[in-house]
Chains A and B, each alone.
Chain A
């Protein structure tokens, strides 16, 4: 059977041809929550990641192929620790992208710092997590303390300065919303001279918010601040309007997603939120990217655009930072990448102009958005 042996020879040749450059491929580790209850967050981000991967397949970095080693943390802290170790010590990646949640970052960042490997989360928004793990930890996301100020200003302006007393509704089960609702928002509101009448809690996973909303009604505030993720946040707003509370309302970062509008429905109209990424941005570069993303059947959010930008910043750093990608130079290469990430300034990404500050946090321009006719519109 000559044909068959020819086939075999060809396959072998191909395998050899593929195996040769495989030794010189650029390895980048990625940690995402792809399964489990929080999988939706990871899946949205993964689409952005795969878009970048597809582009890099053609572009290559310094002529070398890029290999993404993607692991699923399931949003679990213990998994995040183990997988970070695995990426650094056995997969020997140049850089780790992830993990997603603030709680995961708090445990994974120290490990990357000890392993002298740059680690970049493109989502976690709790203030201070990168600052505690200098110099190798970076956060490619805007922390809520830098977004809530502009949000409250625009909210106050839209209501002609009439907001003097507010009630905060906080999801105190989620690490991010808890910090945001009990520390960041109260500080911002106090600085702007707005009195917080009460801070009422609810929990991620709750479905009944009637008791909390009745309590808000009794306090009769000028405005309501809802600090939740989109599911619960959407249903809190729905319950507010159901019980007849028409006060102006703002929502935390977690509610600035298309899914919030879907859950809240007509009740969501007029709610103001803030996000460093705006999916309906008319800027042609962003619009083209969003159109490409939407082919997946989903709507992109900031986590998707930020991981995409992170991968391309890493590409630029490998090209300009003198990374050799030789096995012997791994430690030096990781250091060079760290130095390059530390100095990122004015990078033109999908998420606007990106810089990294002294805390390792990204500096981005926040967009204040308002729900109008079932979409987010920019508040000017």
Chain B
């Protein structure tokens, strides 16, 4: 019983982590809370769904379609809703508010196009269930866990070891200095948006497959949770996002299992406040600053 509950929690947690990593990346580099990330995730799920419905393809093309589609969308968001504000030197909160607007627009457009009804992937893509003694997990759940872990490691290596990653870190450190050193910071920011959004899109397809619940509103709850995890894990820290996701997932599942489902979110967010009271910088954040630690 408890073992299955813990597995449930870890699986839910890796789903959350997948979304939180996107937030973390944008925050780490730009110090911007990208509040439309939940909606980008939702668009990814819809792109994946329609790739499957129109071409009759399987999971892999759906993932690739969502990855490319949302990467493009991410760049578009940067060019339309973020860059012009930065260029004109708006208030530091202005880009964040602008991303809220983008989120609402995306949600409304999707509702108009596809309706507000919950939809799922065709049942031929139903994940296979594995039973290991008393514990049941599905292929998609394992895939989500795998993708989240692989992403965590590759993103870390990318940012720490490659020249592009170094440019990203330099941009995160100081936009002006990076530019003086000859880094095309505009391109780095665009790239960051593309990577973070592409990952969000992939997460959307995986969540759609796992929970069978794609709707224009699916990004709202997930978005808030991704944000909370980013705070728990330490702003801008990718390992933190992973661990934070797991913690939130396990806490939620245990509170449903031993209390009641009504306490699910209340308990999870109370925990977040508690963690922030004792470690305002988050579990993995450093005390000196909240610079990119990706």
Contact = CB atoms under 8 A, between A and B. Distances in A.
A99 B8 CA distance: 40
Interface in B1-18: 1, 4-5, 8-9, 11-12
A177 interface: no
Contacts of A211: 5, 8-9, 252-254, 256-257
A152 to B, nearest CB: 24
Contact of A40 (B9, B117, B131): B117
A212 B116 contact: no
Interface in A231-266: 231, 234-235, 238, 242-244, 259, 262-263, 265-266
B143 interface: no
B274 interface: no
Given A215-B257, A217-B4, A210 B12 contact: yes
A369 B11 CA distance: 35
| Residues of A in contact with B, size category | 20 to 34
A208 interface: yes
A263 B120 contact: yes
Interface string A151-181: 0000000000000000000001100000000
A214 B257 contact: yes
A158 B77 CA distance: 57
A240 to B, nearest CB: 11
B142 to A, nearest CB: 13
Contacts of A316: none
Interface stretch (B161-169, B189-197, B213-221, B230-238): B213-221
Interface stretch (B19-27, B54-62, B63-71, B258-266): B258-266
A244 B211 contact: no
B138 to A, nearest CB: 7
A295 interface: no
Interface stretch (A18-26, A79-87, A197-205, A343-351): A197-205
A45 B123 CA distance: 28
A113 interface: no
Interface of B: 1, 4-5, 8-9, 11-12, 115-118, 120, 123, 126, 129, 131, 136, 138, 207, 211-213, 217-218, 221, 252-254, 256-257, 260-262, 264
15 contacts: A39-B116, A40-B117, A200-B261, A203-B262, A207-B211, A208-B8, A208-B252, A210-B8, A211-B5, A211-B257, A212-B257, A215-B256, A217-B4, A265-B120, A266-B126
